[in-house]
A and B are shown apart, each in its own frame.
Chain A
Amino acid sequence: QKEVEQDPGPLSVPEGAIVSLNCTYSNSAFQYFMWYRQYSRKGPELLMYTYSSGNKEDGRFTAQVDKSSKYISLFIRDSQPSDSATYLCAMSAGDDKIIFGKGTRLHILP
């Protein structure tokens, strides 16, 4: 079992819909959880950064962490075509290393 599992998609949703992206992980030592957005031929851009379990909201984005289930989610409300990108989950046990998921390709259809 890989440390971080993420469905690669692609996921296509109509504009305005709520998007749900998620990752599962196996390492219970992970404490820090991140979501990055990566446009084609660009570096990843940090969207959300959370510590331990709980929810965090920033504009149209909500990140959820359920450590008991080893499951994290990113919700995008009122999705827009500009949200079309690859979304990478990432996590860390508190050392320098970050373990990334493979990324989910998201297409928002106008």
Chain B
Amino acid sequence: GAVVSQHPSWVICKSGTSVKIECRSLDFQATTMFWYRQFPKQSLMLMATSNEGSKATYEQGVEKDKFLINHASLTLSTLTVTSAHPEDSSFYICSATPGQGVQPQHFGDGTRLSIL
């Protein structure tokens, strides 16, 4: 149980392109989803917390106009990297919690984004 699917797994695109990443909870309803960024050999850095039906809460230093998050249903959240540049190249991972209260997060397999 508690399976999170992320798509696509790998994206290569030109600078200036906008890229959308989807995160789905397959076998549970996720009131809260999280978006992380991970650089090589580094830990996960939380970018934003997404609650279904409301605006995402962004961490300090994360540009909300650059990283658009939509959580339109209890099973789907999307992250759009707008006008991506090479410095946005990274591994983006989403996670979700299956219920109310303190729950461990379950992660998708991540999206490797490469901007040329």
Contacts and interface: CB of A to CB of B under 8 A. Distances in A.
Contacts of B106: 46
13 contacts: A34-B104, A41-B112, A42-B109, A42-B110, A43-B93, A43-B109, A43-B110, A46-B106, A88-B44, A96-B49, A98-B46, A100-B44, A103-B43
Q: Is the interface on chain B under 10, 10 to 19, 20 to 34, or 35 or more residues? A: 20 to 34
Interface of B: 4, 6, 32, 34, 41-44, 46, 49, 91, 93, 95, 97, 102, 104-110, 112
Interface string A39-78: 0011111100100000000000000000000000000000
**B interface SS class:** strand
A44 B104 CA distance: 12
A81 interface: no
Contacts, number: 48
A96 B104 contact: no
Interface string A92-110: 1011111011110100000
A14 interface: no
B100 to A, nearest CB: 11
